[in-house]
Homo-oligomer: A and B are copies of this chain.
Amino acid sequence: MNQHHHIENDDKYSGLTVNSGVTQPPSVNPYLKPRRRKPLPTSGELVEGILKGDVTILSRAVTLVESLSHEHQAIAQEVIEKCLPYSGNSRRIGITGVPGAGKSTSIDVFGLHILKDGGKLAVLAIDPSSERTKGSILGDKTRMERLAVHPSAFIRPSPSAGSLGGVARKTRETIVLCEAAGYNNIFVETVGVGQSETAVHSMVDFFLLIQLAGTGDELQGIKRGIMEMADGIVINKADGDNVDRARLAQAQFRSALHLFPPTMSGWIPEVLCYSGYYDLGIAEVWEMIDRYFKFVKDNGYFERKRQEQARYWMYETINEQLRNHFYSNPEVERLLIEKENRVLSNVQSSFTAARDVLDYYFTQK
């Protein structure tokens, strides 16, 4: 519930393009103010750079979006506001799957496949470090080796700290900036074991679930409820000895999906096999995704869903801020621990415990 304030570090990660640039002489005596940072750019400078597609400036702006400092947030929000009219023109695709499903390798080949036709691709992630899966897949960039050096790809790991709501909001804001910078394909990745999938689902147009063949242990990791969110399920590692197993899994998933109620879009989720490692069946996966976008643009669902998502994020942001304001109050924190213990030992009801803490909060202000 609680957001941990973290020190903002501009140099932590600055995108894939290393700006060798001009080394600036120190503007003041470095011995007087040894830790002085680069001066903050104005929102106008940032927007200009973003609209030109300057990756270094985009990275800088994303860093401000992720910052918890008020000064940085003020600039970031101005930048988002100014980028908004230039955003929206992309395919936003959520990709999830358990660790071991070959997600990074798949994103690498998927990315190369779509970039063959031109355009640009941004790969973002939602993976708050507080969740049980340590280490974002994106942290392991070595597995996206071809995409990582591709000039039209922008890979950005998940913000490293904050509540899920906060991290998700920053990812959503980053989408706006990437779109304004001309990225017409956005991948948003999650690890498929936590609470992040609902958040991703509420910011993408298409939700892709990567699965493995097999009906037993391989599925253990994926969280219940995720399968029903998927617009497409793709079974990885359909290669060599594994092809028959993958085909069987495909048939099983197809018949399982058949039992599910229809999606809101009217689209019938498809199940396909592929091999990320051997680069097999990739075109078919993207033909499916192309079909989906044609389908929902034709029936009006695409636009409707985006509007609903914008409304959702407005209310979600409000609700998250209301919670933050409450839970970051030190006395509230102390009271909550005390009350939670009383509730767990059944001496106080959940409702009067809640009421007591709320009474303190509302009278104190």
Contacts and interface: CB of A to CB of B under 8 A. Distances in A.
A350 interface: yes
Interface in A313-360: 313-315, 317-319, 321-323, 325-326, 339-340, 343-344, 346-355, 357-358
A145 interface: no
A100 to B, nearest CB: 14
A261 B355 CA distance: 37
Nearest to A83: B349
A222 interface: yes
A229 B225 CA distance: 8
Contacts of A354: 313-315, 317-318, 321
B326 A318 contact: yes
A343 B81 contact: no
A244 to B, nearest CB: 17
Specify which of A222, A318, A323 lies most central, judged by the most chain B CB atoms within 10 Å of its CB: A318
Given A252-B259, A256-B256, A1 B315 contact: yes
Interface stretch (A35-43, A129-137, A213-221, A272-280): A213-221
A337 B310 CA distance: 14
Specify which of A221, A222, A314, A326 lies most central, judged by the most chain B CB atoms within 10 Å of its CB: A314
A238 to B, nearest CB: 17
A123 interface: no
Interface in A165-187: 169, 172-173, 176
B343 A261 contact: no
Interface residues of A, number: 65
Contact of A173 (B222, B258, B351): B351
Q: Interface SS of chain A: helix, strand, loop or mixed?
A: helix
A263 B252 CA distance: 19
A140 interface: no
Interface in A199-225: 215, 219-225
B80 A357 contact: no
A80 B351 contact: yes
B261 A253 contact: no
Contact of A314 (B253, B322, B350): B350
A44 interface: no
A286 interface: no
A172 B319 CA distance: 23
Specify which of A77, A172, A261, A322 lies most central, judged by the most chain B CB atoms within 10 Å of its CB: A261
B215 A349 contact: no
Given A84-B346, A343-B314, A223 B261 contact: yes
13 contacts: A84-B346, A84-B347, A173-B351, A228-B228, A252-B258, A256-B256, A310-B343, A311-B340, A314-B353, A317-B350, A317-B355, A318-B326, A318-B354
CB-based closest 6 A-B pairs = A317-B354, A313-B350, A256-B256, A314-B350, A224-B228, A318-B354
Given A317-B355, A318-B358, 14 more contacts: A77-B352, A81-B348, A169-B351, A220-B262, A225-B225, A227-B259, A228-B228, A253-B259, A311-B343, A311-B344, A311-B350, A314-B339, A314-B343, A314-B353
